Amino acid sequence: MAKQARRDTRLDRLQVLAVVLPVAYIIFIVTAVYSFGLPLWAGAVITAGISIPAVIGFAFLIFRSVTGMRDDLIEREAKFRDLLESAPDAIVIVDSEGRIVMVNQQTERIFGWRAGELVGMDVDTLIPREMRGNHLRQRVGYGASPHTREMGAGLQLRGERKDGTVFPAEISLSPIRTVDGMLVISTVRDITERKRMEVEREQLLAEAEAERERQRIGMDLHDGVIQSIYAVGLNLENAAADVTDDPPAVAKRIDRAIEQLNDVIRDIRSYIMDLRPARFTGNLGESLAALAEDFRANSLIDTTVRVEPSVPAVGEERAMAMFHIAQEALNNVRKHARATSVTLALSSNDAHVRLEISDNGEGFESGMEHGEEHRGLRNMASRARSAGGTLCVESAPGEGTLVRVELPALEGVGDRA
């Protein structure tokens, strides 16, 4: 609107000039004619004959040109306005000082302000109060280096409505340079409904996973622990019946019952470990030590952790990925390896951080395709790739297994893994 007013002013000035120039031209002709000493009537006739056609023609051309320019400008701005109004998202156009110069109807619907209220208002009004100071600094930085920012560029953004309610938003920025300075076109999308659906989806997935886990635990307990306890009970009943007739056989049966009960205890410990969520504290070395201690207590497998001093940092997300890989590797050891000892070693190698999990278990043919029981290996490899690293598995029957994961370290940061 402000730009439209400035353009109209320039056109008005051109029209004024179309009047002033002919008047000046007439004055010049009159002065020139009377300088020859002609009679008044003769000077008037000559002046009129020379100036009137030229003035009329000049004024006609100027006014027709101005009218055409104004009509063209009105048409182009009408098309621009139609384009803004056809957009499904709110569009806010802001000048270099952060003042709103134009909005569309979607902006009114999303933010609750009328267009007349928004024009001339500081754009920070549409930002939650606690974020305005930071937004001002970001806006100044953006003005120094304007660039296009795509919608949904990984930022957690929010907007504030007129009534004070805050909503999650995706915002794209597009700078345009005009004769009146730089303008920024901000496209704002209210993603409240999408966030709500994402939360519902996560809840449904969590509920489905919990239900599958309940069914799995129920089947495992029924087919494993309960059946084992039932077998121990039968064994003890038979032993009780023969306690006086065949004491040596009874002693063997009791020893066998003790072995079966120990197996049951190990199974129950395994279930407890599966159900207990491992916690990542933010420090990779400390988290691995806690994970190993938990694993040792619940699996009765001798577990050692070695952390090299001054291991470079890899960033929280990569450290968490490495932690979960270690967790999955230990679960595989407990379920499949039949190992008696496990070692976790955290070290650095050039610009990478390396974690090795090795055991003395049964091992397997690492170059062969494996079935569902080795799904954990595929999960670990996928997690390592997602974190920008690599995972290598070395194993052979009877020689144990070594899982090695390497992730890139953060440049210039050390002793914080």
Which CATH code, of 1.20.120.80, 3.40.50.740, 3.30.565.10, 3.30.470.30, is assigned to 276-417? 3.30.565.10
User: What percent of the chain is helix, strand and coil (3-state, nearest 5)?
Assistant: 60, 20, 25
What CATH number has the domain spanning 88-190?
3.30.450.20
Q: What is the pLDDT of residue 84?
A: 80
Q: What is the pLDDT of residue 1?
A: 44
Q: What are the domain boundaries of the chain?
A: 2-84, 88-190, 216-275, 276-417
Helix H, strand E, coil C: the string for 346-407 is: EEEECCEEEEEEEECCCCCCCCCCCCHHHHHHHHHHHHHHHCCCEEEEEECCCCCEEEEEEE
Contact in structure between 155 and 131 (CB atoms under 8 Å): no
Which backbone phi and psi does 370 adopt, to 5 degrees?
A: -125, 155
Among 387, 389, 386, CA closest to 404? 389
Residues near 128 by beta carbon (within 8 Å), at least 6 away in sequence: 158, 159, 160, 166
Distances (CA, A) of 230 to 224, 260, 271, 327: 10, 10, 19, 33
Residues in the chain: 417
The Cα 120–Cα 244 span in angstroms is 102
Tell me if 88-190 shares its fold with 276-417. no
Query: Would you state the structure tokens that stand for residue 225, as one six-digit string?
Result: 């622990």
| Residue 126 DSSP label | G
Q: What is the pLDDT of residue 108?
A: 93
Q: In DSSP terms, which residues pair with 346 in a beta bridge?
A: 307, 355
Query: Would you state the structure tokens that stand for residue 400, as one six-digit string?
Result: 């144990």
Contact in structure between 401 and 363 (CB atoms under 8 Å): yes
Query: Would you state the structure tokens that stand for residue 3, as one six-digit string?
Result: 């730009």
Going residue by residue through the chain, which has 417 residues, state the pLDDT in tens, using 9 for 90 and above. Answer: 444 444 556 666 666 766 676 667 667 666 766 666 666 566 666 666 666 676 677 767 777 776 777 777 777 777 877 778 888 899 999 998 899 999 999 999 999 999 999 999 999 999 998 888 888 888 888 888 888 887 655 667 889 999 999 999 999 999 988 877 889 999 999 999 988 998 888 888 878 877 877 776 776 666 666 767 776 777 777 777 777 777 787 788 788 778 778 777 777 776 666 655 556 778 899 989 988 988 888 788 999 999 998 888 888 888 988 988 998 899 889 888 899 999 999 998 877 899 999 999 999 887 655 444 456 788 788 888 888 889 999 998 999 999 999 998 876 444 455
Through-space distance between the first and last CA atoms of the chain, rounded to whole angstroms: 55
